[in-house]
Amino acid sequence: MPSSATEVLDIDILSADGNISARCWSVADADSALAPIILLHDSLGSVALWREFPAHLAEATQRRVIAYDRLGFGLSDRYPGALPLDFIEREVTTSFAAVVKHLQIERFIVLGHSVGGCMAVNIAAACAERCEGLITIATMTFVEQQVLDGIRDAQQLFAQPGQLEKLERYHGGKARWVLDSWINTWTSEDFADWSLDQVLPQVRCPTLSIHGEKDEYGSLLHPERIVSRVAAAATLVELHDCGHVPHREKEGPVLRAIGHWLEQNQTSSVTG
């Protein structure tokens, strides 16, 4: 549970396409000059599914932490139509842009889990003058066969009675859209050539890539590509006996890795 010193604030943000639900965690007496950490959730994720990690991250780093539900997810409004194949790249100018504008954030560190990490890479590249650091957790860099195998295994699991209802706890009536968008996008032939190859060299901020050795959705080829192709100092942290959700399965080591990395790349700036 968050300590009593951690303040939590829920915020509704009106974007051009609908309402975005966001949450901020802040620690009393933290240095307000430090850039906040903005979290981007995975393909089935939401603010609620980060669980206690954002509060613990705020306490461990003494920074403000912000998470939001992308349109179509969690408590945010429904997505206006089908998810486009370039949804990863679009995040830079859609929900993310609305959040940082509303909260008047000038500089930030961006942290993404799974597909949220793909979005974080694009944000770090597009906002090179504003992004002080990039953290990816269990992030894919191309459509590896292991990614497709993991998605198809999950598809079979969610076809079983009662499984979709688990998603409905977090996404309500949007749960079927959330699940179908994930499966149909990543398994589409038109998405088969997607990769981060072109955007990774545009990342010029310090980068930390965290990956579990037993990640069921992607091999270590992905963090290796990230740290070898960004145009900045980069660190790879491999977590043993860990799957696709390191911040839940190995929260302590993840928090320590982030804390150590921040100490090595400490920067500060005035933020809103």
97: which 2 tokens?
């842009």
pLDDT tens, per residue, the chain with 272 residues: 444 468 999 999 999 889 999 999 999 878 888 999 999 999 999 999 999 999 999 999 999 999 999 999 999 999 988 999 999 999 999 999 999 999 999 999 999 999 999 999 999 999 999 999 999 999 999 999 999 999 999 999 999 998 999 999 999 999 999 999 999 999 999 999 999 999 999 999 999 999 999 999 999 999 999 999 999 999 999 999 999 999 999 999 999 999 999 999 874 333 33
Contacts of 201 (CB under 8 A, 6+ apart): 229, 230, 231
User: What CATH code is carried by the domain that includes residue 252?
Assistant: 3.40.50.1820
Residue 179 lies in a domain: no
Cα gap 7→27, rounded to integer Å:
6
Residue 161 lies in a domain: no
Residue 157 lies in a domain: no
Report the domain count for the chain.
1
261: which 2 tokens?
């990395």
Cα gap 138→151, rounded to integer Å:
14
Residue 200: which domain range?
Answer: 6-141+195-264
According to the model, what pLDDT value does residue 5 have? Answer: 62
SS (H, E, C) the chain: CCCCCEEEEEEEEECCCCEEEEEEEEECCCCCCCCCEEEECCCCCCCHHHCCHHHHHHHHHCCCEEEECCCCCCCCCCCCCCCCCCHHHHHHHCHHHHHHHHCCCCCEEEEEECHHHHHHHHHHHHCCCCEEEEEEECCCCECCHHHHHHHHHHHHHHCCCCHHHHHHHHHHHHHHHHHHHHHHHHCCHHHCCCECCCCHHHCCCCEEEEEECCCCCCCCHHHHHHHHHCCCCEEEEEECCCCCCHHHHCHHHHHHHHHHHHHHCCCCCCCC
What's the pTM?
Answer: 0.94
Residue 36 lies in a domain: yes
Residue 241 lies in a domain: yes
Residue 111 lies in a domain: yes
Residue 50 lies in a domain: yes
Residue 178 lies in a domain: no
7: which 2 tokens?
């303040």
**Nearest CA among 258, 253, 228 for reference residue 112:** 258
Per-residue buried b or exposed e for 6-22, using 16+ beta carbons within 10 Å of the residue's own CB = beeeeeebebebbebbb
